[in-house]
Amino acid sequence: MIDYENLKKLNEPFFEEYTKKFSEVLNSGWYILGNSVKQFEEEFTKYNNAQNTIGVASGLDAITLSLAACGFEEGSEVIVPSNTYIATILSVVHNKLKPVLVEPSIETYNIDPKKIEESITSKTKAIVIVHLYGKSCEMDPIIEICKRHNLKLIEDCAQSHGAKYKGTKTGVFGDFGAFSFYPTKNLGALGDAGAILCNDDSLAHKVKRLRNYGSDIKYLNEVVGYNSRLDEMQAAFLSVKLTHLDEINEHKRCLAKLYLQNLNSDFIKPVVHPDYFDVYHIFNIRHKKRDELREYLLENGIKTEIHYPVSPSNQKALKGIIDEKEFPISEEIHRTTLSLPISFCHTQEEINRVIEVMNKF
Ligand SMILES: *Cc1c(COP(=O)(O)O)cnc(C)c1O
């Protein structure tokens, strides 16, 4: 059996380092907002060539707190891609803002810059872009649109740790870069965790206050805040994992190359372009008979996933929140996409086996 993902196997090479860190934090007697969080924030800032990192409790909270720090008037509009994971949209809803969905490009699966401006109204205040599957969005036109319309730009980097656009890592193009360290992400913790990159010191301070009950000084509360702190233990584990992130990304890129070179042309493969350094959080292909293909692979001992089976506009939770509109490109992606095994725990031999079986479909 070839798993889609195996978190024990993925983390096994780091067990010894984790155990040492666990013991350090345990013995420090300091379990919330201590030296481990401070140290990881500094390391993550350096890794991304950023100005500030604020550790938070999850990826959802990273986007939610970024939007909260902007202080938009209730009912303001925020543009989001129509094929994202629901968390991106929930962060907008939790801030009492209105998500406005814009279709992706069928080539890159990322928000189509050419379709953004037709959705901008006098109420639009921000764009939350998503670097889906580990490929950066097309940043030049997006940055230009944000400048022209005076919009805040938030990058959902939950799938793009270490991915680059024209040599710059995702997360520092906008006002905020929001990261998830959910265990399956390229930089995954051993539980829930997240972080925000922010190059503006004043906005960074606002986010930092919001994550800890709106307080700078203990028991003095300046604003209505949240409890969304990065856990001290998770931060210690993340410091270990961060030193291996480039190695993890390289491994995934190497497996992706096997798929790209050897899968036959019945499968629509991800596009490759020299401006983009892709980290393949997900390696997806598209096929008309996706469900049949998935069943066939399972019969042959290969597990796959679908990201995502139901589009946001078809989710019951978002009924009455998202405008009733057709999103044909998203629907096409949701109907045909299939995610293949591409974990740090997979060997080249396993991927070659997946390719061999797929080419006989
Ligand atoms: C995983 C993910 C999130 C949410 O992260 P959590 O840490 O689970 O809250 C948000 N956006 C995208 C695109 C994701 O893949």
Q: Domain locations in the chain?
A: 7-102+111-242, 245-358
Q: How far is CA 144 from the centre of its chain?
A: 23
Name the amino acid, one letter, at 232.
E
Number of alpha helices (DSSP H) and beta strands (DSSP E) in the chain: 12, 14
How many angstroms separate the CA atoms of 5 and 3, rounded? 5
Write down the pLDDT at residue 174. Answer: 97
Ligand 1 atom 6: residue of nearest CA:
59
Write down the pLDDT at residue 194. Answer: 98
Compute, in angstroms, the gap from residue 46 CA to the centroid of ligand 1: 22
- Residue 206, by phi and psi: left (phi above 0), alpha (psi -120 to 50) or beta? alpha
Write down the pLDDT at residue 11. Answer: 98
Ligand 1 atom 12: residue of nearest CA:
158
pTM score over 0.85? yes
Band (82; pLDDT cuts 50, 70, 90): very high
Atom number in ligand 1 closest to CA 185: 1
Write down the pLDDT at residue 24. Answer: 98
Band (89; pLDDT cuts 50, 70, 90): very high
HSE toward the beta carbon, residue 109, CA cutoff 13 A: 30
Ligand 1 atom 7: residue of nearest CA:
59
How many angstroms separate the CA atoms of 261 and 166, rounded? 23
Strand ordering across the sheet containing 194-198:
52-56, 194-198, 176-180, 152-156, 124-130, 77-81, 98-102
Ligand 1 atom 2: residue of nearest CA:
158
How many angstroms separate the CA atoms of 159 and 181, rounded? 9
Write down the pLDDT at residue 260. Answer: 98
Q: List the structure tokens of 306.
A: 């679908």
Residue of 180, 184, 187, 234 to mutate, ligand 1, most atoms within 8 A of C-beta = 180
Compute, in angstroms, the gap from residue 194 CA to the centroid of ligand 1: 9
- Is any atom of ligand 1 closer than 6 Å to the C-beta of 341? no
Write down the pLDDT at residue 204. Answer: 98
CA-closest candidate to residue 167, choices 275, 27, 296, 66: 275
Write down the pLDDT at residue 90. Answer: 98
Answer whether 7-102+111-242 and 245-358 agree in fold.
Answer: no
The per-residue pLDDT for range 28-78, each reduced to its tens digit, is: 999 999 999 999 999 999 999 999 999 999 999 999 999 999 999 999 999
- Is any atom of ligand 1 closer than 6 Å to the C-beta of 64? no
213 DSSP 8-state letter: T
Atom number in ligand 1 closest to CA 91: 10
Band (161; pLDDT cuts 50, 70, 90): very high
Q: List the structure tokens of 181.
A: 């360290």
Residue of 89, 137, 176, 182 to mutate, ligand 1, most atoms within 8 A of C-beta = 182
- Is any atom of ligand 1 closer than 6 Å to the C-beta of 180? yes
The per-residue pLDDT for range 96-131, each reduced to its tens digit, is: 999 999 999 999 999 999 999 999 999 999 999 999
Q: List the structure tokens of 201.
A: 């010191």
Name the amino acid, one letter, at 93.
V
Atom number in ligand 1 closest to CA 84: 13
Return the beta strands (E) in the chain as ranges: 52-56, 77-81, 98-102, 124-130, 152-156, 164-165, 168-169, 176-180, 194-198, 215-217, 220-221, 276-277, 283-286, 337-340
User: From the CA atom positions of the chain, what is the Rg in Å?
Assistant: 20
Write down the pLDDT at residue 5. Answer: 98
CA-closest candidate to residue 305, choices 3, 82, 1: 3
Q: List the structure tokens of 302.
A: 């290969």
Write down the pLDDT at residue 121. Answer: 98
Q: Report the CATH architecture of 245-358.
A: Alpha-Beta Complex (3.90)
Compute, in angstroms, the gap from residue 262 CA to the centroid of ligand 1: 31
CATH number of 7-102+111-242: 3.40.640.10
- Is any atom of ligand 1 closer than 6 Å to the C-beta of 188? no
Q: List the structure tokens of 58.
A: 């999850």
The single residue listed with the structure tokens 């998203």 is: 330
Write down the pLDDT at residue 147. Answer: 98
Write down the pLDDT at residue 226. Answer: 97
The per-residue pLDDT for range 241-286, each reduced to its tens digit, is: 999 999 999 999 999 999 999 999 999 999 999 999 999 999 999 9
Atom number in ligand 1 closest to CA 184: 1
The per-residue pLDDT for range 283-315, each reduced to its tens digit, is: 999 999 999 999 999 999 999 999 999 999 999
Ligand 1 atom 4: residue of nearest CA:
59
Compute, in angstroms, the gap from residue 193 CA to the centroid of ligand 1: 10
Band (349; pLDDT cuts 50, 70, 90): very high
Band (145; pLDDT cuts 50, 70, 90): very high
Query: Is residue 23 within 8 Å of 17, Cβ to Cβ?
Result: no
Helix axes 245-262, 348-358, angle to 10 degrees: 30
How many angstroms separate the CA atoms of 123 and 215, rounded? 30
